[in-house]
Structure 1
Amino acid sequence: MYKNLKYLFLSSFVFMACSEDVKEEVIAEEPLSKGSADFTKYVALGNSLTAGFSDNALFKAGQVNAYPNLMAEKFAEVGGGPFTSPLMNDNIGGLLIGGTQIQGPRLVFSNGAPVPLNIAVPGSVPTTEIAIPLTGPFNNMGIPGAKSYHLIAPNYGNIAGVPTGQANPYFVRFRSTPSTTVLADALSQNPTFFSLWIGNNDVLGYATSGGTGINQLGNTNPATYAANDISDPTMFNAVYNQIIEALTSDGRKGVVANIPSVTSAAFFRTVPFNPVPLDAPTSSALNAGLIGPLDQILTALGQPDRLKPLAAVSNNPLLIVDEGLTNLGPQIQTIAASSGNPQLVALAPFLGAVYGQARHATKDDLVLLTTRTVIGQPAGSLVPSLNAFGVSFPLQDQHVLVPTEIEFINTATTAFNNTIESAAQSKGLAFVDINAIMRELSTNGIRFDNYHMSATFGQGGVFSWDGIHITARANAYIANQFLEAIERTYGAKFSKFKPQDKPITYPSFLPN
């Protein structure tokens, strides 16, 4: 039965022998060098990826393994100065405001699934209080949740704006004054080199919400945006170039990165579109009592492809709502009410209200990672026999990305990346094509040394337990990509990390 259905998930080195009469050639390593860059004072601007956010939280170990912190280690080998981060109080994660928890602890793997740390380890309570600001300045200016325009927004660190979403609790902890901007605090340090990786959140919230936000195309006033809206590309272009102009003043050098297609993350690629197992009695009952009659009505209305017959197999498709479809609810109700079938007549209002934009999912739909705990669970329907999310009751907008929503995301991402690359070229900045890297990771994966890293959730080594943010191992790999871009542009030479030496998960127990 589907009543308790839930989605479960859980190059070798080659040594060449040499004959005695062949002398081994020794290749001298190129000496380390800063090239034409100056790493005396390095600042990193960005969002959660820059801050070291991982496993759905910011915590000390993640911050230590953040790619800017790792880059600074290599900069120090060629004369770079100290690099400080606004460290959290603990390895629990989460935030307090006036003693009240406003964000929960990190995720850990326990009993076959990611769960909040306080579930796996009772008593794990956040201790980081944002009402007690830190004394800076700090080199890592990564702000979890920040969008492009937030870097230049006054009062983004004002604690009074946190309850209304006008300020960011992470920036509140280490801003110089409540009214300052992220960019102003970065520039006040007179940096000699910068990195900038921003733009993910200008589209990510729309994606992780299942497309419940608005595509703000044509609206260049971010003050009117809601949290899950896609930023207007024209606004993004203006803001990004304003930031770049300020950062490159006085000939300052730096490195920038574009954003990956967010839907290539494990959050969108783990739960299949067809994870529904049904036995013969259940599939037959659903076909007779719901799918069959609805399909007949939809076929009569010229929509014969919305629904498919269910079968006694393990891979039936999910039933979803697609807001892009014409809502045929009134027509469905009318036809059912006049069908002469007592069961359909009784269900007519329900059928019209619930299934007007329903269809079975296809491979072109992306089911959110968070939806895995919803599939097969009670949907709150007034009809007990039609009460299982994704099976007899359609998953809603917040559960799935449909093709029209995916297209909005891809179009915006392309526009943002065009802006970023153009800005890098115009200012002669080092550029990291993260989008290309993520495409490779999500398709074939990437091999280095004797390790293969991929975007597979839980075991590929790229994504942490939230399916969006990257692991310590992936941070080391990304740090290497930034370092290589700097080498190409400024003639520097760095030693590199061995990403496989970094963990892909953090244990439940981490010392604070």
Structure 2
Amino acid sequence: MKTFKNIKYIGLLAIAISFTACNDEEDFEQFLDMPPADAVALPAPTSGSADFSTFVSLGNSLTAGFADGALYSIAQENSTPNIMASKFSLVGGGNFTQPLMNDNVGGLLAGGSPLPGFGPRLVFDGAGPVPITNLNPGAMTTTDIVLNNPTGPFNNMGVPGAKSFHLLAPGYGDLNGLFTVPATANPYFVRMASSSTTSVIADAMAQAPTFFSLWIGNNDVLGYALSGGDGTNPITPTATFDFAYSTLITTLTSGGAKGVVANIPDVTAIPHFTTVPYNPIPLDAATASALNQGYATYNGGLQFAMSNGLITQAEVDKRTIAFAEGSNNAMVLIDEDLTDLTSFGIPSYRQSTADDLFVLPLSSLIPQGYGTQIPLADKWALTPEEQAEIATATASFNATIQSQASAANLAFVDANALLNLVKDGNLPSGNYNLTSDLVTGGAFSLDGVHPTSRGYALIANQFLKAIDLKYGSNFEASGNLVDIGEYNTNYSAGLQ
């Protein structure tokens, strides 16, 4: 085998010398560009039965390209629909316009003042996610929803924070609606809306789309999850979601447009809820003893409640608080599903178990005594009962999405199954195997909710595959899926 290799390379050298002797550089370059003898010629890309000339994408933050807790320019450029549009352009797709932010810092201003709740993007400081200004004090938010909104129409109609029914709401882009209680508008749609009275669906349809994507519904359950199920952001009622979704599909297809839709991922499988363990508290012997003394009265109250027939021994065991020297103490939380003993002066405390999930922002508060001296309020945790509510709603909404897609003969992406594969680390793509680990997994950005640019590229490939399957295009067969390795996972604090 070694002799054969040497003969082969000597032969190539002899050919190269002959080209050089003839001084024919053009022929030599053509020789170098020749494909291997066993190369397979790929077919030219085709659109199949789809018409991509006017592509409009509707949705929420997952459509907009939101990442790292903010919307910023380079993440928008790597949004799933923008990646898709770059491939549609190969088969007749037109321009794809996005309402780009003014910078890569993120955050929103209103008349020069920071808009509360819309801060700059997160970066990694070596220990965890922090605002970019912690590492780069010169980073400045410059996108102002009063002073410098872009001009549409926009093909990317993804509105961060939008729920299903918001896409139908007139006035969702009215600046004045931001200051009502409750708010009736969304600052990201204020930037995009063609007028103060229009709706997302109206602005989309005004462009007479020939092809659309719709990925909506995540916030209909995610808002409840992010608030720890405390009731401040309830799950959308099933009847409301079903009406909104069917209306969107009927409207989008009314002009004969084809499209692709995606269902709702399991929000409890994302790193925002799986990064903080249930037992993260290290204690020395003295501190554990002091905490046990502090909860002694509470534990005694449980015995009183049992002796009076108010709770069972099993509930006493579940609610008893006990700390020990070591690095893996469970946290104390308030559980509204426990028997209510507050009329006897006994709060609804128990320690966390592996069945509980905790929101990512809690990680910075644990060293301040949260979970030990300060029992965790409802907003910090998702109990098994709250997780069951989310799972039930997600299953119902996904059934509606799939049935509507089938009835309208649309392409369908099972985003739920896709991100569960990511969660389990069972989704290799090229040279990468993305997981849901925060920071290092590659799929999720630093907010633990939204994908990285690489994650959005992965999702774009799934959309393209679904379109191939339904409409006979050949993005995959023609070699026009994207290489996810060309897309970033985290962006540096120096990028402004």
TM-based fold match above 0.5:
yes
How many Å separate the matches in 2 of 1:369 and 1:153? 31
The C-alpha deviation readout for 1:436-464, integer Å capped at 9, x for no partner, is: 01111112341122211000111101111
- Secondary structure of 1:314's counterpart equals strand
Give 1:464's aligned residue. Answer: 445
Give 2:332's aligned residue. Answer: 319
The C-alpha deviation readout for 1:194-235, integer Å capped at 9, x for no partner, is: 000000111111111111226xxxxxxxxxxxxx12100111
Give 2:17's aligned residue. Answer: none
How many Å separate the matches in 1 of 2:390 and 2:418? 18
- Secondary structure of 2:139's counterpart equals coil
Q: How far 1:404 sits from its partner (Å)?
A: 1.3
Task: Work out which of the residue numbers 171, 174, 199 in structure 2 matches 1:155.
Answer: 171
Work out whether residues 319 and 394 of structure 1, in 8 Å CA contact, stay in contact via their aligned partners in 2. yes
Matches within 5 A, 1:71-90: 71-90=84-103
- Secondary structure of 1:162's counterpart equals helix
Give 1:179's aligned residue. Answer: 197
**Identical-residue share of aligned pairs (%):** 49
Work out whether residues 424 and 431 of structure 1, in 8 Å CA contact, stay in contact via their aligned partners in 2. yes
Q: How far 1:292 sits from its partner (Å)?
A: 4.6
Work out whether residues 376 and 391 of structure 1, in 8 Å CA contact, stay in contact via their aligned partners in 2. no
Give 2:140's aligned residue. Answer: 125
Matches within 5 A, 1:77-476: 77-102=90-115, 103-131=118-146, 132-164=148-180, 165-213=183-231, 228-287=233-292, 289-300=293-304, 301=306, 302=312, 303-305=315-317, 306-331=319-344, 333=345, 352=346, 356-377=347-368, 388-476=369-457
Q: How far 1:329 sits from its partner (Å)?
A: 2.9
Work out whether residues 425 and 436 of structure 2, in 8 Å CA contact, stay in contact via their aligned partners in 1. no
Task: Work out which of the residue numbers 482, 486, 491 in structure 2 matches 1:497.
Answer: 482
Name the amino acid aligned to 1:502.
Y
How many Å separate the matches in 2 of 1:262 and 1:127? 31
The C-alpha deviation readout for 1:81-130, integer Å capped at 9, x for no partner, is: 11010111111111111111102111111252211112221132211111
Q: How far 1:26 sits from its partner (Å)?
A: 3.8
Task: Work out which of the residue numbers 482, 503, 512 in structure 1 matches 2:463.
Answer: 482
Work out whether residues 159 and 167 of structure 1, in 8 Å CA contact, stay in contact via their aligned partners in 2. yes
Q: How far 1:171 sits from its partner (Å)?
A: 0.7
How many Å separate the matches in 2 of 1:195 and 1:86? 17
How many Å separate the matches in 2 of 1:323 and 1:262? 22
The C-alpha deviation readout for 1:278-327, integer Å capped at 9, x for no partner, is: 1112212322x134553343244233221253211111101111111122
The range that moved more, 501-510 or 302-311, is 302-311
How many Å separate the matches in 1 of 2:341 and 2:446? 39
How many Å separate the matches in 1 of 2:491 and 2:442? 12
The range that moved more, 102-111 or 451-460, is 102-111
Q: How far 1:260 sits from its partner (Å)?
A: 0.3
Give 2:22's aligned residue. Answer: none
- Secondary structure of 1:277's counterpart equals strand
Work out whether residues 292 and 309 of structure 1, in 8 Å CA contact, stay in contact via their aligned partners in 2. no
Give 1:33's aligned residue. Answer: 46
How many Å separate the matches in 1 of 2:465 and 2:83? 13
The C-alpha deviation readout for 1:318-374, integer Å capped at 9, x for no partner, is: 11111111222333x4xxxxxxxxxxxxxxxxxx4xxx1100001111011011111
How many Å separate the matches in 1 of 2:320 and 2:87? 56
Name the amino acid aligned to 1:182.
V
The C-alpha deviation readout for 1:106-157, integer Å capped at 9, x for no partner, is: 1111252211112221132211111143221010000011110011100001
Q: How far 1:492 sits from its partner (Å)?
A: 0.2
Q: How far 1:31 sits from its partner (Å)?
A: 2.5
Name the amino acid aligned to 2:432.
Y
Aligned pair count reads: 446
Q: How far 1:250 sits from its partner (Å)?
A: 2.9
How many Å separate the matches in 1 of 2:488 and 2:242? 37
Segments of 5+ residues of structure 1 without an aligned counterpart are 1-16, 215-227, 334-351, 378-387
- Secondary structure of 2:261's counterpart equals strand
2:56 is the alignment partner of 1:43: yes
Give 2:26's aligned residue. Answer: none
How many Å separate the matches in 1 of 2:412 and 2:176? 37
The C-alpha deviation readout for 1:62-85, integer Å capped at 9, x for no partner, is: 100000000000001111111010
How many Å separate the matches in 2 of 1:375 and 1:357? 20
The C-alpha deviation readout for 1:481-505, integer Å capped at 9, x for no partner, is: 0000000000001101111221110
How many Å separate the matches in 1 of 2:246 and 2:197? 22
Give 2:18's aligned residue. Answer: none
Instruction: Give the superposed CA RMSD.
Output: 1.7
Work out whether residues 446 and 452 of structure 1, in 8 Å CA contact, stay in contact via their aligned partners in 2. yes
Work out whether residues 366 and 400 of structure 1, in 8 Å CA contact, stay in contact via their aligned partners in 2. yes
Work out whether residues 155 and 179 of structure 1, in 8 Å CA contact, stay in contact via their aligned partners in 2. yes
